[in-house]
Amino acid sequence: MLDIKNITITMMISFIIVVAIGPVFLPMLRRFKFGQTVRDDGPQSHLAKNGTPTMGGIMFIVAIFITALFRGRFDSDMMVGLICMLGFGLVGFLDDFIKIKMKRSLGLRAWQKIAFQIAISFYVAFYQYTSAADASQIMIPFTEMTIDIGILYIPIMMFIIIGTVNAVNLTDGLDGLASGVTVIVSLFFMLFAYMVAGNSDVGLLSAATAGACIGFLCFNSYPAKVFMGDTGSMALGGAVVSFAVLTNSVLLIPIVGIIYFAEALSVIIQVTYFRKTGKRIFKMAPLHHHFEQCGWPETRVVFVFWAVTVVMCWIGVFAAF
């Protein structure tokens, strides 16, 4: 049952926390010189963003955590969803910190990232597999059927969790893109959690995430005053994928999260094709940079990607309901 009052209050609290701490937190980022370094081989229009404060994802991570603390029941599902978000957010934070303060451009080493991500994804997958009797019964979109993947559930979910988190991370490349897309996706999972899965804890966590991202857009929409950094994008990836895992609806991610999926796929295609042929399919990857290189203004790319997400979430409604 959709609890409009509870959802509205949850979203408002999360939104207000972000808007309230922003004017305090942004000067702190500048003081500690947590500024973004834009790649020279990226779109030339982005060079003006050099020095813009990053790691702003801490703002909405704090808001989501505090909101969940006061609004949620903090039972197992709520706790696991928060751990997934905070765990991946911590990986992103370490990556950002090493890049910016320790001047190591690659951040965490590849094996370190993978090790952290495997540990967090195993925890979430194992929890769901052992605590939910129907966990291995994955719903098939557009049908009333489910598929039982049995013991393969854990490795398959680990792959999906890590893949989704990194896809959201790749989506964060334009002002307001990842945060805006995640608002829409979170609202979808909020409806799904309440009306289909009957999981009010995931519903509240989704609502808190949507509210926090709307608040963050006050600072992150074009022209951005702050970037979320890997801290924020990986935390959002952890949040979104936890909504899907905890409601047994991971096959909805490629539909409602089509932008995440397309961004990751564009990178995979570009790298694979270039290694085999020495040529590029896209002018630049991830996909949002390809459209920029085609002459689209940054704001147009973001608006179109938001619009595509809205349309796909409506399709997701038909797929799920």
Q: Residues forming the annotated binding site?
A: 169, 230
C-alpha of 239 from chain center: 6
Q: What are phi and psi of 226, to 5 degrees?
A: -155, 150
Q: Is the dihedral of CA 131, 132, 135, 140 positive or negative?
A: negative
Binding site membership for Mg(2+): which residues? 169, 230
Question: Across the strands, what pairs with 139?
Answer: 146
Question: How large is the angle between the packed helices 153-171 and 258-277, nearest 10 degrees?
Answer: 90
The secondary structure of residue 140, as a DSSP letter, is P
CA 198 – CA 234 distance, rounded (Å) = 27
Q: Is the dihedral of CA 223, 227, 232, 233 positive or negative?
A: positive
CA 131 – CA 57 distance, rounded (Å) = 30
Burial, 67: exposed, middle or buried (Cβ in 10 Å; 0-12, 13-18, 19+)? Answer: buried
